Structures are given as C-alpha cells and as structure tokens.
C-alpha cells in the first residue's frame, strides 16, 4: 500500500507542477469550447459570465495573473474570431478536385498555443517547460503521418481521414488540416498541417523501502521521432530474483508504409516475454492492403491461475497452483480490400469488401500433461483461417464523450464478416466457422447507439455467442455545465468449453472497479449506467468531471440459466481529472458500494488511474476466433 501511495505522489506531483506553472494559454485547448448547436443559448450565457469575470479581473495585474492560472476562456475561437458552435462533417468537400501546390507543417508547442489560435505565445515558465520537450520533427510528420503529397488532387474524404489519424496518434494532443485557396489560381490550393504534441515524458518511482522499490521512464516521443520507449526496473531484495526489467519500443509508422513496429521484453520473476510485432490495419477505407506478423516466446512459472484465454496470470484471491509453462507463438495474417464499383450511392461510397487469411501456431516446450479431457488448453495447435467481410464507415467530429475536450471522431457504419477454417492439433482436427456483425449510428436528437454480435463454434460443438450494445445521449445542459448519460449491455455464453475456460464480470467486463474470483462462469449478462457531468470548472489546468454509476450483473456456470445467479451490484460516485495536453492517464477519486461482491469490501474508496475509453470502429482486419469474454 505504501508503494502505491509513493507512485501516485510521484506521478501527480509532477502533474500538478506542470499544470500550476502555466498561464491560461497553456490550457486553452478546444475542450468544451466546441459544442452542438442545440446548446448555443447556454453557451452565450456562459460566455457572457466568463467575459464579466475577465473584465473585472483585468483591471488589476495581480487579478489578471490569478485569472490566468485558475480559469481559462471556455470558448475557443477560430481564425476569424468567431465562436465555434457547430462541428462540420467534412470541411474539405468544397475543395474536392483541386491540386495541392504546397504543404506547410506548423508544429505548435505543448504549452502556450492552441490549434484554434496559433498566435498565442508561451511566456515565462511556459517557455521553460516547452524547452524540455522535443517537438515531433517536421520530416517525421511529412514522411510518416500524411496520406497526401504535393501534386495530388484533393480528395475530401482522404483529408478528413488523415486529420482523424493525426488526432488518434498517441504523440499528438490535437491536429488540424487547413486548405488555403488562391483566387488567382482557383484550381490550386495550399495545405497547412497544424499539429500539437502532448507532454511525452513520464517518470514513475515507487518506494517501499531500500530493499523494495521501482524506477520507470515512459517516453512517448523519443527524440521527436514519434517513437515510444518505456523502461521499468523493479527491485525486491527479499526475492530470489531480486531485479525485474520490462521494456517496449514502438515505431508508430515506418516511413509512409503505415506499418507499426514493436519490440517487447519482460524479464520478471513469474514471467518472461520476448516479442516482435509488425502490423498495418486498414486505417482508411482507401487502403487496399493490411497485415500483421508476430513472433514471441513466453515463459510462466510459480503461482499461477488460468485466464479466460487459457494462459495463466497471477491472481491474489484464487486457488493457485505451481507449474512451469513455456510456449512459442507465431502469427501471420494478410488482407485485401476491394471497392465495390457497382455501388454508387453517396452514403456507400466508402464501402469495402475485404478478403483475408491467417495462420497461427502455438508450440509448447514445457507444460503439464494433456489428455482429451484434461489440460486441453495447453495443446500444441496450428490454426488456418480465411475471412470475407463488408465494411462501411463514416466519421463525424464531436467532443465530451470519452475525452475531456479533445476532438473525438464518432464512427457510423456497418460491419459484417464471416470466418471459417480449421485447427490442427495433437488432440485432432476440428473445423471452425464464425460471424461478426456490428452497427453504429447517430440517432436524430437522441444520441448514439452501437451494437456488436459475435458467434462462433467448432465441429466438436465448442461454441460461444456474445452481444454488446453501447448507448450515450447527446450533451444536455445542466446549469452552466453539460451532462451525458451512458448505458452499456453485455451478454456472453460458452458451450462445451475446455476445462479451465471461463468468463467474468470483473471491472470493465461488468461491475466497475470490482475484481473477484466469485464473478466467474460460462454465461453472463451485465447492465451498466453512468452519468458524467462535464463541468465548466478548470482549476489549475485540470478538467473536472463528476460522475455516478450503477452496475448489475449475473454470471453462472453451464446447465443453469444465467439469471439463476445472484444479482451482483455496484453503485458509486466519483470525480475524474484530466489534462489532455499530458500523457498521464485520467485519474479519479471514487466511492463505491458493493452490497454482495465476494471478497470485496462493501464500502470502497479508491484514488488512482482511470482507463480512457475509445469509440469502437468498423474496421475489418485479421480473421479471428470469437473469444470467450
């Protein structure tokens, strides 16, 4: 517990130092400044409120400084100094067909400037903090992050997709592409690519005595190359293996191939991992080729328990047993997309047919004895899969969904895929087939809904069916703030699964922030509600969002209805804090009530990191076997 406190203190002390030291220009990003037209009346009131405060504070130098540190203007403005109230769907459509004459890249500093006001300048400590950060090199942005070049003809959808890809990058806080026409040459345009990095250096120190401590460095933009490199050392003098080391090096895009490369190393007491990965998904509908390759060696030992995918992990409150497990894993997949020429409707112009193939191999070098009815999870096996799928997706920009102000790209579309193949293992050959169907769309004045159905099975009657649906409302005024509600539903059931296979309703799988071995089975149903208040409060650079949640779930083993299990419940309140300019995870203070979760305190208080969720897309990539989860 003491180590946990030291780690939090170290991380968030740095967080407060960075945020408290800068002026309002540091944090004047396009947070809740972008808004839907439905809230314009409330926006005008809020804008007037802030204007009055700023006018009063502006009469005194000291008060101006206080305003600059504690508050920031809640509305960003574009180059023409007009409030941004409506997020357009595709601002590049009017330039379709024109030729790109020049491309300019403008890199903004982490602190002091804004995508929507690049004239702002860093001052004082802002400059000092910026000097500690290596900006992403212009050549890297040009060669590895842009889908277009000088002389290309403007494709509105490609520009829109490229802007989205820039924003999705882990090294950028935000990005925007501007098209500058020339009245003298109406068929020519210049492009300005504006990017703003995030603070990328994260130290992490945990101290629980001189015989037990950890030191870690996470650099998400190593030397401005866009590469990420994490290194962590753990020392425990009471263990036989005193030192542990983990490292991961990741190149987001190798040249303009849009291939991501990654190498990972773990040298831990209970696990060793050596892995190399290369992959290229369909980042845009225009990409024709995608693929991936991975080779890894894994070792587990000491006290281990089974996870839902059949491989072990350490659990604190489960029945543990010891055995060594070593295996090698190789995976290769390729996919090709085809534009459907016979479809010419505007809303289907981004539709693609995708053909894919995959082969993977698992070979154990050390394991327990296996038989047809025991330890089947540790079989040596090779899988051959082929898939065919249809994908159609579009995006619309919005804010204040899972982020605290960064631009979020909301996907709408459809995905349908069929996978078939077979597994060749020492237990015999069995054939597989599965389907995946997903649909997401914006509801007129009612929010957004997403649904996903997965079903798959083998010829030996081993199967799984799962369904999930996510819904969130539009932003709704709540006093001078805005609120959004989220509803999530999940169902999954496995049939004739191997010994040791199970699913659970822990944490993100059902009951928020609850983890117990008692929440396991082969059938589950969960329903969750969460309400998030995106407040106008911005204190010392922190975006503050109070929230409330309620989760209920059922989980049961085979031969019983899922609803025959107890109704496991979790309820709570909390506050999340986030600064989008920094790479720190969102963190939260949370009070929860768990009336009947096994081995979990009824009343629970927690302070720590919170996972930042992302909207699910409709990308088709590698053919896969439906997992039990």
How confident is the model at residue 278, as a pLDDT? Answer: 96
Distances in Å between the Cα of 627 and the Cα atoms of 110, 361, 417 are: 40, 17, 15
- Kind and range of the H or E element at 53? helix 40-57
Beta pairing partners, 179: 191
Q: CA 621, CA 354: separation in Å to the nearest integer?
A: 8
Compute, in degrees rounded to 10, the torsion defined by CA atoms 39, 43, 44, 49: 150
- Strands (E) across 496-560 are located at 503-504, 520-521, 523-534, 538-539, 542-556
Q: CA 494, CA 629: separation in Å to the nearest integer?
A: 9
Q: Which of 127, 162, 156 is nearest to 141 (CA)?
A: 162
Q: Cβ contacts of residue 162 below 8 Å, gap of 6+?
A: 145, 146, 147, 148, 177, 284
How confident is the model at residue 295, as a pLDDT? Answer: 97
CB 232 within 8 A of CB 246: yes
CB 199 within 8 A of CB 582: yes
Q: At 208, give phi and psi (nearest 5°).
A: -130, 30
Q: CA 233, CA 244: separation in Å to the nearest integer?
A: 6
- Kind and range of the H or E element at 186? none
| Whole-structure pTM value | 0.76
Provide CATH code, domain 270-610: 2.40.160
The sign one gets for the Cα dihedral 312, 314, 318, 323 is: positive
Largest CA distance in the chain: 82
Q: CA 576, CA 546: separation in Å to the nearest integer?
A: 6
DSSP state of 350: T
- Tell me the DSSP string of 145-180: S-S--TTPBP-HHHHHHHHHHHHHSTTEEEEEEEEE
How confident is the model at residue 54, as a pLDDT? Answer: 52
Q: CA 142, CA 144: separation in Å to the nearest integer?
A: 6
Q: Which of 199, 198, 180 is nearest to 189 (CA)?
A: 180
Q: Which of 386, 389, 387 is nearest to 351 (CA)?
A: 389
Q: CA 129, CA 451: separation in Å to the nearest integer?
A: 44
Q: CA 500, CA 379: separation in Å to the nearest integer?
A: 13
Alpha helices by DSSP H, 248-398 = none
Q: Which of 127, 191, 114 is nearest to 155 (CA)?
A: 191
What is the mean pLDDT of each successive set of 10 residues along the chain, which is 629 residues long?
44 44 35 35 44 53 46 36 44 89 88 63 69 83 90 89 86 86 90 86 79 87 87 89 92 88 93 95 88 95 46 44 85 93 63 95 91 88 96 83 78 93 94 96 90 96 95 89 94 88 89 89 94 80 86 89 92 85 71 93 82 80 90
Q: How many CA atoms lie within 13 A of 2 on its CB side?
A: 6
Q: Cβ contacts of residue 450 below 8 Å, gap of 6+?
A: 438, 439, 440, 469, 470, 471, 615, 616
Give SS3 for 62: helix
Q: CA 483, CA 494: separation in Å to the nearest integer?
A: 37
């Amino acid at each position: 517990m003491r180590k946990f406190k030291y780690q939090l203190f170290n991380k968030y002390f740095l967080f407060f130092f960075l945020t408290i030291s800068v002026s309002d220009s540091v944090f004047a990003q396009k947070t809740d400044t972008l808004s839907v037209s439905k809230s314009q009346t409330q926006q005008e009131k809020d804008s007037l409120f802030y204007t009055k405060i700023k006018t009063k504070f502006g009469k005194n130098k000291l008060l101006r400084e206080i305003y600059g540190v504690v508050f920031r203007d809640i509305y960003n403005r574009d180059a023409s100094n007009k409030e941004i109230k409506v997020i357009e769907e595709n601002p590049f459509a009017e330039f379709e067909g024109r030729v790109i004459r020049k491309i300019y890249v403008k890199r903004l500093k982490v602190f002091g400037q804004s995508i929507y006001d690049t004239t702002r300048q860093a001052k004082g400590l802002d400059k000092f903090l910026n000097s500690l950060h290596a900006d992403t090199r212009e050549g890297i942005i040009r060669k590895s992050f842009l889908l277009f070049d000088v002389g290309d003809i403007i494709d509105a959808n490609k520009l829109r997709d490229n802007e989205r890809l820039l924003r999705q990058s882990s090294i950028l806080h935000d990005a925007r592409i501007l098209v500058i026409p020339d009245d003298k040459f109406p068929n020519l345009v210049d492009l300005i690519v504006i990017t703003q990095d995030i603070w990328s250096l994260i130290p992490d120190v945990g101290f629980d005595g001189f015989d037990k401590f950890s030191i870690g460095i996470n650099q998400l933009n190593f030397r401005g190359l866009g590469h990420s490199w994490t290194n962590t050392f753990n020392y425990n003098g009471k263990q036989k293996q005193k030192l542990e080391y983990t490292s991961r090096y990741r190149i987001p895009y190798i040249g303009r191939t849009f291939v991501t490369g990654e190498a990972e190393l773990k040298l831990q007491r209970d696990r060793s991992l050596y892995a190399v990965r290369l992959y290229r998904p369909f980042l845009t509908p225009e990409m024709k080729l995608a693929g991936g390759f991975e080779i890894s060696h894994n070792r587990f030992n000491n006290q281990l328990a089974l996870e839902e995918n059949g491989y072990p992990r350490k659990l604190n409150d489960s029945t543990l047993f010891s055995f060594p497990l070593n295996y090698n894993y190789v995976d290769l997949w390729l996919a090709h997309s085809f534009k459907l020429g016979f479809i010419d409707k505007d809303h289907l112009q981004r539709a693609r047919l995708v053909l894919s193939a995959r082969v993977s191999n698992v070979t154990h070098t050390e394991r327990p004895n296996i038989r047809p009815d025991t330890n089947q999870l540790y079989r040596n096996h090779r899988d051959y899969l082929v898939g065919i799928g249809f994908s159609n997706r579009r995006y619309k920009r919005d804010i204040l969904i899972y982020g605290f102000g960064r631009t979020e790209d909301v996907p709408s579309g459809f995905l349908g895929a069929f996978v078939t193949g077979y597994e060749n293992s020492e237990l015999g050959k069995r054939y597989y087939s599965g389907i995946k169907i997903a649909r997401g769309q914006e509801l007129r004045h009612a929010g957004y809904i997403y649904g996903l159905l997965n079903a798959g099975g083998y010829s030996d009657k081993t199967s799984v069916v799962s369904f999930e649906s996510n819904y969130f409302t539009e932003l709704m005024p709540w006093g001078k703030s805005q609120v959004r509600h989220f509803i999530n539903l999940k169902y999954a059931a496995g049939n004739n699964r191997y010994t040791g296979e199970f699913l659970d309703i822990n944490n993100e799988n059902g009951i928020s922030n609850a983890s117990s071995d008692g929440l396991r089975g082969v059938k589950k149903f969960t329903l969750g509600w969460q309400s998030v208040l995106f407040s106008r409060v911005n204190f010392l650079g922190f975006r503050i969002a109070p929230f409330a949640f309620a989760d209920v779930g059922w989980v049961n083993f085979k031969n019983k209805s899922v609803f025959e299990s107890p109704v496991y419940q979790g309820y709570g309140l909390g506050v999340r804090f986030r600064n989008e300019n920094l790479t720190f995870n969102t963190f939260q203070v949370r009070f929860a009530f768990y009336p009947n979760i096994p081995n979990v305190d009824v009343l629970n208080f927690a302070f720590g990191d919170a996972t930042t969720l992302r909207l699910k897309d409709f990308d088709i990539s590698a053919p896969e076997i439906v997992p039990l989860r």
